[in-house]
Each structure stands twice: as structure tokens, then as C-alpha cells.
Structure 1
Amino acid sequence: MSKSKDLGTRSIPQLLASQSIPAAIGFMVMTLNMVVDTIFVGQYIGKLAIGAISVVMPISFLMSSVGMAIGIGGSSIVSRAFGAKDQEKAQLTFNNQISLTLILITIILAGGYIFYEPIITLFGAQGDLFSFSESYYLITLLGIPFLSLAMMANNNLRAEGKPRVAMLILIIPSVVNMFMDWVLIVLFDMGIEGAAWATTLSNVAAGSFMIFYYLSGKTELRVTPSLFRLKKNIVNEITRLGLVSLMRQGSISLLTIVLNHSLFYYGNQAGIGGETAISIYAIPNRIAMFAFFPLIGLSQGFIPIAGFNYGAQSYKRVKEVVRLAIVWGLIIAGFLTLLLLLGSNFIPTIFANEQEVDLLHYAPQAIFVIFFATPVVIFQLIGSSYYQAIGKAMPALFLALTKQFFFLTPFVLIFPLFAGFEGIWYAFPAADIMSALICYYFLRIGMKKLDTKQINTETSLAN
């Protein structure tokens, strides 16, 4: 029996759990890998290495997010095609995703190597951070094609009802990275270059696993070279929906540029030092990636369920999964917030040794303030994911940009004018609250439209 059919028949709580838990575990291990990476460089190399990773990581994610964007946009089409029992469209969409990913990532990598100096400078590699950032960037760029393919495949595996395999794509490179961090940084004392090679090898492992799995014939979606030729209508739909994810990552990258330059400027103004200020933020940034893994897993598990049932015109099931995802998300996020606030003084000691006095002094306040409004982020995650799942690109794009682009980036520029260096931290909870209010409003509109569609469907069937 096709695993994708389960998305339209199993109970919603069982489905959401079976889709979200593997996704959450995968993201947990992936983000734990980032946390461990930061711990290794912080304990064995120093705060400049932490700052360098904070500068380069958003660039790597922006480049590789091309694969993620194509996968999210394409998997939305695949989910709805499976729901509508259109196998031909599902197969064509999957193979067009492969071609599109390879073409775009080749162009991006060429530009990334040619213009690497202005790129890393733009993202905040200033002063003593530049040489560390340069070394880390040039090496990690080698693994971007593999990471992009893995991200694309990850979304399609969930669309065909294989969340556990999708989880493995996230777990394998994380385990490889953590092991290679120990080997290359601790045993071989390779410094920042060792951290970069560990990351690159882990991305190669992720891409290689994806390639071998799809060639094994164990998937509903098959690699079919005759379907690689790009079809305009498919590419347009992938682009419209994938643009949501790409613009979201683009807004995060823009935020990183503004944030790193603001931290550098106001850190110097406060007498902390610009490089140190960037390294301070790197700690809550890494914690955010790790702490939010259950919420990201929940939103990723939600998408194929909502998309499949919307395609099958089972609108009551779509409403049920939206409501359940929000309730679960609020409970999980509330618990996470409590842990982060209570642990704000302890967390920095994990990343920095006792010589890094400034990091240990300033990071606790940053953690406490940044995560103060964490529970409400579930509205933005589910809001943008819902409209993406049902193929509505424009509202999905708008909601995806609410926090980073419309609120947090301008707040980071405005708040320090009145509150100085600490104003940067207060921008985060303010942006969380504002974006949550807007996303909640759009979700209510979406649910009312589902009620109308359900009535029309039942009337049509009765006639």
C-alpha cells in the first residue's frame, strides 16, 4: 500500500505525531550538531571562531536554502498530486526539482567563490573576524551542493509518507560532523579549518545518503532522467511556492547583515568590543536553533498532512490538523521558554571557557530577553506553513517575512537608538509578538474559507 495514502486516512493526532516526531528528532540532531560545533570551537579555538561561524553560517544556509526552497515548493505540489491521485504530476515534479536544484546551485557556487571577499565582509566579517571567516567559508562552500540536494529530498520524502527516512537525512550528517569535530579539532588541532572540513564532510554524507536511497528503488518517487527536462508550468509553481522559503531565508540573511553590523557598532560603543558582541549573540542564536527543534518538526510534519487533505478536498481534516498543531505548539513552546529563562545564567558556561569573561557576563541577559516571547512563534510557523501547504504563495510569503523582515530587522535598527546595546535584544520579543498577531489573523481568515469550501463540497455531493 502506498504510504502517501495514510495522510488521508489515519487519525489526525496519530498522523501529526508520526510525521512531526521524526522531523523533530532529525532537526534536534542537526541543531545539536551546530551547538556541539560551537562548543568545540569555543572551548578549543576561542571566541573569534564562534564569531566566524556566526558570520558564515547564514551565508551557507542562504545558498543551500535553494535546495530547501525547491523541495518545499515541489513537495507541496507532490502532496496535493498524491491527494488527487495524479501520479504522473508527482513524478514529473520530483524530477524537475532535481534538475532545478543542480542548475541553480552551480550558478550560486560560482558566484560564491568569485565574490567571496565582499560577501563575507557584507555579513559582518570585520577586524580580527575576517581571516577566521574566510578560512571557514571557502572550505564549507564545497559541501553546499550535497546539502542542497539533501534538503530538497528531505521534503519530498515526507510528502510520500516517509518521515523516518527524512529524519535519517538530518541525523547522518550531524553524527558525522560531531565525530569529525572531535577528530579534526581536538586530535589533529586543525583549528577553524578542522571545523570547516567537519561541516563539509557531514554535508557530503547527507547528499550521498539521499542519492543512494533514491537509486535503491524503495521510494514512490523515482529518479527518471527522461523527466529531468524542465516544464514551464511545473517550474513556475515550484518557484512560486519555494520562493516563500527562499525569501524567508533571505530575510534571515538580511537580518544577519543588519544584526552583525549593529552588534559590531554598538558593542564598540558600549566598550564590549565589536567582535565580542557578535560572539555573544552567537550563543542565543545557536540555542534558538536547538531549542526550536520540536516546533520546526511540528510545522514540517504539518505540511504534507494539510497539503494532501486539501488536495483530496477533506477540509475538515485540514482544520483539525491546524488546530491540533497550534495547541501542541503552544504547550511545547511554553515549556521550552521556561527552561531557557531558568537556564539563562548556566547556558553560556557550556560554550565559553572561564577566560571569556565578557561572553559569560553579557550572554545571560541576551538569552533571557531574546526568548521571553517564544510561545507565540508557533503562530508564525503554522500560519506560513498552512498557506504554503495549500499552494497559496502570496499569503505564505507575506507571513514568512513578518518576523525577520517587517519587524525584527527595523527594530534592530531602531531600538538601540533609545536603549543602546541592550536594545538589540529587546527587538526580538517585540518582533515575535507583532508577527504572531498578524499570523493569527490570517489563520482565522483561512479557517473561515475552509468552512465555506466544506459547505460547497457537501452541497455538490448531495446534488
Structure 2
Amino acid sequence: MKDKESVFLNSDINKLFYKYLINSVLGMLAVSFCILADTMFIGQGIGSDGLAALNICIPIFNLFNGLGLLFGMGGATALSISRGKGEIVESQRIFTKSIIIAILVGITLSTLGKIFTEKIGYILGANISNIYMVKEYLSGVLIFSFSYILAHTTSAFIRNDHNPRLAMIATVTSGLSNVILDYLLIFIFDMGIKGAGLATSIASLINLLILLTHFISKKCSLRFIKFKINVKDISRILFNGLPSFIVEISSGIVIFIFNLKLLNIVGNIGVSAYSIIANVSLVAAAIFTGISQAMQPIISVNYGANKIDRVKRVRKKGLKTSIIVGLSFYIIGILFPQFIVGVFTSEKGQIVDITVNAIRYYFLAFIFMGINIVNGAYYQSMEHRILSNAISLSRGIILIVIGITILPIFLGVNGVWLSAVFAEVLTLIITYIYVYKKK
């Protein structure tokens, strides 16, 4: 075990960071690609009504993925800090508790989802005109919904157990499976939007099954051990993972709020346009989350071993990478907005005009989004829970709600798109003011 942790403590930071970065980003892109594939196939095969129904359902993925990250990132952070301190038995106890919690929650939500599918659809914002499509998609998605939670939880521990490559292979294979299944179920077997949901569900199960092979390999140093129910340990896991949960679940909340606002201002066509924006945002957020996941095990182990200089160097690498990615997304959006729209829908006219206009405003947020996500992950990896939670809550819920409530009054639909920029910029300013004052 000590030899394994010496890799985090003594290896060249650049090589170590990029090794984890490539695997983590590819893995997170594959996760987002599952939803992205659904969007492209639904947009091309079913049309704008299908896109609107899909966008209404996206928050359910945020919930499942968020819970997986809550238990996975929360437990894995505590595990790596304990390993850095040499507390091996404690680290195994944390692992065991995290996995058991994830299993129990996953099975419970899967059962409830199958029983209350239609009610969930209405809660997500469906109405009489689109409830049929929403229900059809959800009925496919919820078949193996437990696998979304368990896949994210186990993936976090596997990365911290020095096997980021397997985590990447599992998610990439899942993404490719999703594309193949989407094509087969939508176009060949003519299952429509339900086929898209089923394809995503099966792909998630494939992801989990591949990840589970780690636990029978020689590389695995994770062990299930006996434990007693301890509120302190469970709260440590949950509080550590809360920033990741907030980042993920806030995406769902934002989509829900945006959908309601756009339905009120421009109608169903606005929701269809936003589904394209939301999916591109999903890809950007996946890359930023991949950067933060690459940082986490390196920072946590070195922080536990009190190697603060290495911790700061990892943060600097993460910030530089996120700024480059954010600027790239913004520039591509400004230069090629119509191409982006064309990837998702073959329709012309109003949906293209609305989406192209939205891209010019909304994509500015990506420049600041990456910095905020990386900053939140930095503090989360050291168990600085108050600041990491404050960053996640500010950008993900509080400021976005304020922005989308106030800005459209003065700017109309453009205020909806600018509310994301408003939230990210203010979060960044508040964070650095707080950190500066603490110094």
C-alpha cells in the first residue's frame, strides 16, 4: 500500500496530473456522450418535440450521477487522505461504508422510479402536450437506474486505487455502446424515444459491469471489512461529497428553472433550443469535472502527507487547463454557432435563430465555469467543506436563481442566457475576495 501511495507523493507532478487528466476527462466525456447521443439521435429521428421531452428528463440523470459522486468523491477523498496519513484500516472502512450506502440508495430509487414514472415526469415539468414522450423516455431510462449511482461511486474509488485507465475504458465503452444501441433501437427496431432511454440505461449497466472487474484484479487494494454504524464517518463521507453533488444536481435544477422560464417567455421552441445549449454545456462541465477528478486523488494523498507545495502545483495545473478549455468553447461558439445547431437538429427557421442567439451569450459562462469547478474541487479534496460547498451553492443554485429571476425582466430572453454568466462571474469574484481576506 505504501509503495502505491508513493506514486502520488513522489512522482513528477506534470506526468502524474496528465496521466489522470486524460483518463478522467475521457471518462467524463463518455458519461455526457450517453445523453449527447440521445439528443442527436432524437433530434434527427424524432424532431424538436423529442428534444423538448429529453431536456425535461435530463435532471433525473443529474440526480443519479450526483448521488454517485456524493458517495464516490466523498468516500474517495476521505480514503486518500487517510492513506496519506498511513491509516489503512480506516481507509478500508470508509470504502466499505460508501459502497453499501450507494447500493442501498440505488436500489431504493430504482424501485420508486418504476412505480412513480408518470408522477416523476410531471414533477420534472412535463405537461399534457409532452407527458407521453417524457414517460416513454423515463420508462427506458429507469430500468437499470441503480447502475448510474453505483458506476459513479465505484469509478471514484477505482481512480483513487491507481487504476484511472479502467475507469476511462468502462465509461468510453459505455458511451460507444450507447451510440450503437441508440441507432439500433430508434431507427432499426423503431422504438422511438423509449428506445433512446433504454439504450442509455443498458450502456450504464455495461459501465458498471466493466468497473466491477477491478475488484477481482491483482491491482485492487480495496477491501470490504466489518464495520459498525458510525454517524461521524457517514457524515464525513456525505459532507466531503456534497460539493460534487451540488455541482451535478444544480445542473438539473438549472435546466428545470430554464425550461419553466423559457416556456413562459418563448414557449416549447425555447425549450427545444435550450436542449442544444444544455447538451453542449454538459460536455463542457464533463471536461471541467474530469479536470477536478484528476486533481482529487493527487491533492488528497499529498495533503494527508502534508506535502502542501505539491498540492498547490496541482491546483495551478488544473486552473490553467480549465481556462484553456473554457476559452476554446467560447471561441468555437462565437465562430461556428450554426454548425453546433446543425449537429443536433436538421430543422430550420426559428429554432436555429433562437439557439444561435443563445450561444453568443451563454457560452461566455464557460470561461469562468471551469475556474469555479476547479476551485471547488481543490478545497473539497482537502476536506475544506465550508468553502467548497459555498462555491458550489453560489454558482449552481443561489446566483443562477437570482440571475434568471431578475435579468429577463430587463433583457427578455437574453437575460435567461446571461444568467449563467452572471452566476459564474459573481461566484469567482466572491471566492477570491473571501480567500484574500482569509490571508
Normalising by structure 2, we get a TM-score of 0.94
Partner of 1:80: 81
Q: Aligned equivalents of 1:423 and 1:300: distance in 2?
A: 32
Residue 103 of structure 1 pairs with residue 104 of structure 2: yes
Which deviates further from its counterpart, 308-317 or 203-212? 203-212
Which deviates further from its counterpart, 170-179 or 319-328? 319-328
Partner of 1:319: 312
Cα deviation, residue 70, structure 1:
0.3
Counterpart code for 1:290: V
Whether the aligned pair in 2 keeps the contact of 1:4 and 1:159 (CA below 8 Å) is no
Partner of 1:304: 297
Counterpart code for 2:127: Q
Unaligned runs of 5+ in 1: 268-273, 449-463
Alignment of 1:191-210 (within 5 A): 191-210=192-211
Name which of 345, 366, 370 aligns with 2:362: 370
Whether the aligned pair in 2 keeps the contact of 1:127 and 1:275 (CA below 8 Å) is no
CA separation of 1:280 and 1:252: change in aligned 2, threshold 3 A: same
Alignment of 1:379-394 (within 5 A): 379-394=371-386
Name which of 338, 346, 349 aligns with 2:339: 346
Q: Secondary structure at the match of 2:113?
A: helix
Partner of 1:5: 6
Whether the aligned pair in 2 keeps the contact of 1:16 and 1:298 (CA below 8 Å) is no
Counterpart code for 2:144: G
Counterpart code for 1:107: T
Partner of 1:240: 239
Alignment of 1:101-250 (within 5 A): 101-222=102-223, 224=224, 226-227=225-226, 230-250=229-249
Q: Aligned equivalents of 2:331 and 2:7: distance in 1?
A: 36
Partner of 1:401: 393
Partner of 1:455: none
Q: Aligned equivalents of 1:31 and 1:341: distance in 2?
A: 22
Normalising by structure 1, we get a TM-score of 0.89
Cα deviation, residue 430, structure 1:
1.6
Cα displacement string for residues 68-90 of structure 1 (whole angstroms, at most 9, x for unaligned residues): 21001000011111211221111
Cα displacement string for residues 204-235 of structure 1 (whole angstroms, at most 9, x for unaligned residues): 1112122233233431113x2x4365443321
CA separation of 1:249 and 1:329: change in aligned 2, threshold 3 A: closer
Q: Aligned equivalents of 1:435 and 1:261: distance in 2?
A: 24
Q: Secondary structure at the match of 2:322?
A: helix
Whether the aligned pair in 2 keeps the contact of 1:65 and 1:249 (CA below 8 Å) is yes
Partner of 1:433: 425
Q: Aligned equivalents of 2:340 and 2:39: distance in 1?
A: 13
Cα displacement string for residues 14-57 of structure 1 (whole angstroms, at most 9, x for unaligned residues): 22111111111112233233322211110111111111111112
Q: Aligned equivalents of 1:196 and 1:167: distance in 2?
A: 22
Cα deviation, residue 445, structure 1:
6.4
Unaligned runs of 5+ in 2: none
Whether the aligned pair in 2 keeps the contact of 1:7 and 1:161 (CA below 8 Å) is no
Q: Secondary structure at the match of 1:212?
A: helix
Aligned positions, number: 438
CA separation of 1:39 and 1:151: change in aligned 2, threshold 3 A: same
Whether the aligned pair in 1 keeps the contact of 2:66 and 2:249 (CA below 8 Å) is no
Alignment root-mean-square deviation, CA = 2.0
Whether the aligned pair in 2 keeps the contact of 1:341 and 1:372 (CA below 8 Å) is no
Cα deviation, residue 331, structure 1:
2.3
Cα displacement string for residues 70-128 of structure 1 (whole angstroms, at most 9, x for unaligned residues): 00100001111121122111111111111111112233334334443343223221242
Cα displacement string for residues 127-177 of structure 1 (whole angstroms, at most 9, x for unaligned residues): 422111111112211222112111001111121222111212321211110
Partner of 1:285: 278
Q: Aligned equivalents of 2:321 and 2:246: distance in 1?
A: 27
Cα deviation, residue 200, structure 1:
1.0
Cα deviation, residue 352, structure 1:
0.9
Cα deviation, residue 375, structure 1:
1.5
Q: Aligned equivalents of 1:254 and 1:297: distance in 2?
A: 21
Cα deviation, residue 442, structure 1:
4.5
Q: What percent identity do the matched residue pairs reach?
A: 25
CA separation of 1:366 and 1:36: change in aligned 2, threshold 3 A: same
Q: Aligned equivalents of 1:366 and 1:202: distance in 2?
A: 31
Partner of 1:69: 70
Q: Aligned equivalents of 1:178 and 1:90: distance in 2?
A: 37
CA separation of 1:364 and 1:191: change in aligned 2, threshold 3 A: same
Whether the aligned pair in 1 keeps the contact of 2:334 and 2:360 (CA below 8 Å) is yes
Q: Aligned equivalents of 2:70 and 2:297: distance in 1?
A: 15
Cα deviation, residue 444, structure 1:
4.9
Counterpart code for 1:105: G
Partner of 2:330: 337
Q: Secondary structure at the match of 1:227?
A: coil
Partner of 2:21: 20
Counterpart code for 1:317: R
Q: Aligned equivalents of 1:63 and 1:288: distance in 2?
A: 18
Q: Secondary structure at the match of 1:345?
A: helix
Cα deviation, residue 303, structure 1:
1.1
Counterpart code for 1:155: A
Which deviates further from its counterpart, 125-134 or 242-251? 242-251
Whether the aligned pair in 1 keeps the contact of 2:173 and 2:207 (CA below 8 Å) is yes
Q: Aligned equivalents of 1:34 and 1:87: distance in 2?
A: 38
CA separation of 1:254 and 1:288: change in aligned 2, threshold 3 A: closer
Cα deviation, residue 301, structure 1:
0.5
Q: Aligned equivalents of 1:253 and 1:31: distance in 2?
A: 13
Q: Aligned equivalents of 1:237 and 1:436: distance in 2?
A: 26
